[in-house]
Amino acid sequence: MSVHITIDKVVVVPAGKEGLPDNDPGLPVIAVFPGGLGVEILNLHFVPQILGTTAIPAGSYSQVRLILAPNQPDLSNYVILADNPGVKLPLKTPSAQQSGLKIVGNFTVTAGAGNSILLDFNPSDAIVFAGNSGNIILKPTGIRIIQVFNSLANAGAVFGFIRSPLFQSWSSASVAVVPRDPAAAAVTAGVVFSNFSSPSVWKSPFTAFLPPSGSAAVPSAHYKVFVQAYRDTAQSVPTFKHYSSSPFTVVAGVDTPVPPDGTVLLVP
């Protein structure tokens, strides 16, 4: 399955101004895309796409609004199912063309500093097949705002390429990056989806931006990557053994492969 949306504008909402319309001058505009910016959501788990950068007032914010393009005369927001790849099914986005797809979550903008937030889509919650009506709905409750650290400029990254042996299929995988020494809760986690490629390889890349090892945000010396792959998108049928990487360090401004060479090989 693939999920496509077209974004016309991105605005953020200061705390206390949630009732304002998206065109109110009190709501800072992050980006405007003449003609719309097409985004394939399911390709973006751990593969960030920058939606915009601008200077906005410091303070507390409570929403990000994505103003989507209308589905007329052509489909701008749609779903393609794996078993019917030639057909675009309209994605219902209630009010997203007028007041915006309202993504709720608190974040803080600090004066005189670069501030970054991530929008994390959980397709299991964000994409809803509405019973017998046949409607497919995009719900903002399946999208969360993450403010992991102050700036991507101060971050490092870990990247990997998940794959399985020949003829071993998998649909989705949960990926978590967890600090160690001392152990702590996952800094980031999410879901990636496999792509089939010749010869008979099911694969998916992922990237996670992280605070450097030993920083104030994450004082732990090392990280580890954990992966569990599933046969279905509902993540109810584990297909492979739980994967745990060797410990590794993250350095600001450096892309670090999952040890030893960036390959996460799933074992049936």
pLDDT score for 145: 79
Please give the DSSP secondary-structure letter assigned to residue 121: E
Domains of the chain: 2-147 (no CATH), 153-265 (2.60.40.3540)
Q: Which residue has the higher pLDDT, 68 or 236?
A: 68
Contact 172, 203 (CB under 8 A): no
Q: Could you give the CA distance from residue 52 to residue 116 in angstroms, rounded to a whole number?
A: 10
Q: What share of the chain is helix, strand, coil (3-state, %, to 5)?
A: 5, 45, 50
Contact 14, 60 (CB under 8 A): yes
Encoded tokens for 87: 């057909």
pLDDT tens figures, 91-108: 888 777 777 889 888 888
Q: How far is it between the farthest Cα atoms of the chain?
A: 56
User: What type of residue sits at position 208?
Assistant: A
In the chain, % of residues over pLDDT 70: 88
Structure-token match 């992050």, residue found? 30
Is a pLDDT exceeding 60 seen at residue 80? yes
Q: Is the pTM of this model over 0.75?
A: no
Over range 48-75, report the average pLDDT: 87
What is the end-to-end Cα distance of the chain in Å, rounded?
Answer: 24
Name all contacts of 150-154 with Cβ < 8 Å and 24+ positions apart: 150/110, 150/113, 150/114, 150/115, 150/116, 151/113, 151/114, 151/115, 151/116, 152/114, 152/116, 152/209, 153/114, 153/253, 154/114, 154/211, 154/212, 154/215, 154/252
Q: Which residue has the higher pLDDT, 41 or 166?
A: 41
CA distances from 141 to 33, 78, 121, 138 (A): 24, 18, 9, 9
pLDDT score for 83: 80
Q: Could you give the CA distance from residue 100 to residue 148 in angstroms, rounded to a whole number?
A: 24
Structure-token match 């998998």, residue found? 170
Please give the DSSP secondary-structure letter assigned to residue 125: H
Q: Which residue has the higher pLDDT, 148 or 12?
A: 12
pLDDT score for 250: 93
Please give the DSSP secondary-structure letter assigned to residue 152: G
pLDDT score for 9: 93
* Cα three-residue angle 188-178-110, rounded to 5 degrees: 45
